[in-house]
Amino acid sequence: MRLRPTLLDRYIIREMMGPLAFGVGAFTSLFVSGDLLSLANLVVELGAPIEPALKVFLLKLPQIIVWTLPMSVLLATLLSLSRLSQNSEIVAMRAGGMSFGRLAAPILCVSLLISVVSFLINETVVPHTNAESRRVMVEEVRGSRLPTITRHVVIKGERGNNLDWILYANRYDSRTSTFYQATLVYMNDNAPVQTAFADRIVWNERTWVMENGIAYHFTPEGEVVVATYPAHSRPVDLGQRPEDVARLQKSPEEMGLAELREHIETLRRQGADVRSLQVQMHLKYSIPVASLVFALVGIPLGIQSHRAGSATGFGMSVIIIFIYYIMMTLGSALGQAGALPPVLAAWIQNIIMGGYGAYCFYVRSK
């Protein structure tokens, strides 16, 4: 009796689920082993509380799972298809009229679903758990406080290709939204036309205002006009709100795409080098897509491995993953150095590995 394609799809997916779960557990264990050892040392040597240390460990899991899901898809694809090939089940399916593409369809669908889920976790869960993990580590495990002070803050405003103004503050307190010992220089054609000094620049719910400020205006005739400003008497337009300044204390891993994109645009307006952040932003897309890329690579290799056992499949997975992450590391480094555009630097490993997988897929389907 000939099985309907939907039953074969379910059968292939069921064969894939066991190795997939094993891969998530195995690769996640490899990733967390170092963190567990560090946390254990904190508990034993420094007497850190056990409960917050366990909380840090659990909060780091979403990020690690996003990294390990593509690896697990590759392992599951290789092991499941190798077993089906070894038992001649692939031959029977092909003899029953199932094309190579139709045979691969359920695996590609599962890998696409995992890519979408991975992206959603990385966008909605990971930024919050990473930020909370850092807070718990600093405040509850180490008994310190998260820094609210950023020292030597420099903010720039540009008009076209020219520098419009530049602010330097000795420190910024994110709790009170206050710049201390601030110097603000206004420019015209890249030449200073006004320099203002203030004890503080404070956010008053609508705009920034100077406290105890003094300004020196430079006239075209070379004269200097001095003006003093008492507390809250002079508004200052810095082009950003307190939350924009607070992002200086956050890492890209603690931001969602919208927040990271806004942060990059703010820094770009200041004339800062944002290549590294752009690479990190595009990696938030490319890493989840790696699940689909690894499935595309693993399907032809899994069907070819007629005599491959679990150890061989695991070894092939490790080699492919190693090559993939070497390419990703090199691409990211080249992107941050400016040798590659950020989008290409973040996607180059997917392009190369996906191209190879697509070629093997095409050859096998002929």
| pLDDT above 70: percentage of residues in the chain | 90
pLDDT at position 292 over 80: yes
| pLDDT one-digit tens code per residue, 304-319 | 655 555 566 677 888 9
pLDDT at position 2 over 80: no
In terms of domains, do 9 and 95 share one?
yes
Count of domains observed in the chain: 2
* Span of 62-76, 151-165, 249-263, 268-282 with lowest mean pLDDT: 151-165
Indicate whether 263 belongs to any domain: no
In terms of domains, do 158 and 221 share one?
yes
Mean pLDDT of the chain: 84
Looking at 250, 266, 299, the residue that finishes a domain is 250
In terms of domains, do 291 and 357 share one?
yes
In terms of domains, do 134 and 9 share one?
yes
Q: Which residues contact 288 (CB under 8 A, 6 or more apart)?
A: 66, 69, 70, 115, 116, 118, 119, 122
CA 72 vs. chain centroid, Å, equals 19
pLDDT at position 343 over 80: yes
pLDDT at position 248 over 90: no
Looking at 233, 250, 267, the residue that finishes a domain is 250
Indicate whether 262 belongs to any domain: no
pLDDT at position 301 over 80: yes
In terms of domains, do 162 and 79 share one?
no
In terms of domains, do 57 and 201 share one?
no
pLDDT at position 9 over 80: yes
Indicate whether 58 belongs to any domain: yes
CA distance 159 to 252: 27
What confidence tier does 217 reach under pLDDT thresholds 50, 70, 90?
confident
User: What are 68's two structure tokens?
Assistant: 């390990």
Question: What pLDDT is stored for residue 3 in this prediction?
Answer: 44
